[in-house]
Amino acid sequence: MTAAMPVGIPASAPPVRRPLWPRSVWIPVLGAYAAIAVIMPALHLLVPASSALHVSDYAVTLTGKILCYATVALAMDLVWGYTGILSLGHGLFFALGGYAMGMYLMRAIGKDGVYGDPLLPDFMVFLDWKELPWYWHGSQHFLQQAVLVVAAPALLAFLFGWFAFKSRIRGVYFSIITQALTYAFMLLFFRNQTGFGGNNGFTDFKRILGFPLASPVTRAVLLSLSATLLFGALIGLRALVLGKLGRVLTAIRDAEDRLRFCGYDSVRFKLFAWTLSAAICGLAGALYVPQVGIINPGEMSPANSIEIAIWVAIGGRGTLLGPIIGAALVNGLKSVLTAAFPNLWLFALGLSFIAVTRWMPGGVIGLLRRWR
């Protein structure tokens, strides 16, 4: 004799869907997005410069730069915080996206350059190049370069990850070879013969899609786009890590051997997360370059990639919101301290990382959770 089902409960209840965040998180996230993407540009454009409420060009540029850095930290958290892959080469993917956009911006200078050549960028004229290299062909088209912004870092990440993950390279060995990869590309881009501006890189940009980069309206639009990219990446990755794919990635981080014994091909899942993370970094780099006005091989420095890992650790890895907070805190303090005490900034950064590792292993987010 079978037991009767309790009254009011269906025989096959649908699975409970977890919300992305509770209301206590949604409200601050949406508020921050509205403040940066809507209110800040409005104060920049509509409020006179003499008013105390006016947002200066410097504040708009600095905020846009920090938003791009926060997007990179978010992408880093996907592979390190959730998949357990510590990368020390994410600065390379960020720089490749920046170089792809920089190629378009250099071609957009045209006759307004120092040498007035409508076809060759100024640095090529200075180096006595007679024609464009084959990989520069079509770089005057924004759509082509927009595709390359994503395709270049994603393809490099896919090829590198395929061989590394198939060879079961992981842990500190994987971190070391990612650092070696970004260092090799940095040395390659430093060479004038490579065709990417050598040590100086790309600079002196004039316009994007016909709009002058010095215009306050263009700066405000780029700031809004940077905030939208960060917000969209945050929502998309949050939905990803809460789903089945996210649980598999977490299982790879915690017990990859057990996952393989259960019949899962961990290489495919790691390769997907690794490639997606690189593509997001490329988009962040593409928005970074027109706002900052320069891209050079220094962005590929291994020290920059290590700093990205520090942002994630300070904010709290495996949380998504934590790396954004960490990137904002570190780069905000960097802007202040490098102006007041330029020789002490690296010491302050190192001490903060040691303090977080020793007394705040969960980062800022972990500290806030304990307070709650």
* Residue 239 structural domain: 55-299
Residue 316 has pLDDT above 80, yes or no: yes
Structure tokens at 189: 């881009």
pLDDT at res. 152: 97
Q: Is residue 293 part of a domain?
A: yes
CB-based contacts of 207, cutoff 8 Å, min separation 6:
108, 109, 213
Average pLDDT over residues 305-334: 93
Q: Is residue 366 part of a domain?
A: no
Count: domains in the chain: 1
H helices of the chain, in order, are 23-34, 40-46, 57-77, 90-109, 122-126, 142-166, 172-190, 216-242, 244-261, 266-292, 302-315, 321-340, 345-359, 363-371
Q: 198-218, pLDDT tens digit by residue?
A: 999 999 999 999 999 999 999
Q: Is residue 127 part of a domain?
A: yes
What element of type H or E holds 211?
Answer: strand 211-212
pTM: 0.92
Q: Is residue 87 part of a domain?
A: yes
Q: Is residue 15 part of a domain?
A: no
Structure tokens at 201: 């890189």
Q: Is residue 43 part of a domain?
A: no
Q: How many CB atoms lie within 10 A of CB 187?
A: 12
Full 3-state SS string of 140-175: CCHHHHHHHHHHHHHHHHHHHHHHHHHCCCCCHHHH
pLDDT at res. 156: 97
**Greater confidence, 6 or 82?**
82
Confidence of residue 5 (pLDDT cuts 50, 70, 90): very low
**Greater confidence, 250 or 349?**
250
CA–centroid distance for 195 within its chain: 25
Q: Is residue 115 part of a domain?
A: yes
Write down the residue that tokens 């924004």 correspond to. Answer: 142
Q: 164-186, pLDDT tens digit by residue?
A: 999 999 899 999 999 999 999 99
pLDDT at res. 96: 97
pLDDT at res. 130: 87
Average pLDDT over residues 265-273: 95
Average pLDDT over residues 220-233: 97
pLDDT at res. 24: 81
- CA gap 178, 281 in Å, rounded: 15
Average pLDDT over residues 294-316: 94
Percent of the chain with pLDDT over 70: 95
Q: Is residue 372 part of a domain?
A: no
Got the DSSP string for 121-139? -HHHHHTT--S--GGGTTT
Average pLDDT over residues 282-304: 95
> In 30-54, which positions are buried (b, 16+ CB within 10 angstroms) versus exposed (e)?
eeebeebbeebbebbeeeeeeeeee
Residue 304 has pLDDT above 80, yes or no: yes
Residue 2 has pLDDT above 70, yes or no: no
Write down the residue that tokens 């960020």 correspond to. Answer: 94
Q: 112-169, pLDDT tens digit by residue?
A: 877 777 889 988 988 888 899 999 999 999 999 999 999 999 999 999 999 999 999 9
Length of the chain: 372
- pLDDT-wise least confident of 14-18, 42-46, 208-212: 14-18
Residue 196 has pLDDT above 50, yes or no: yes
pLDDT at res. 16: 53
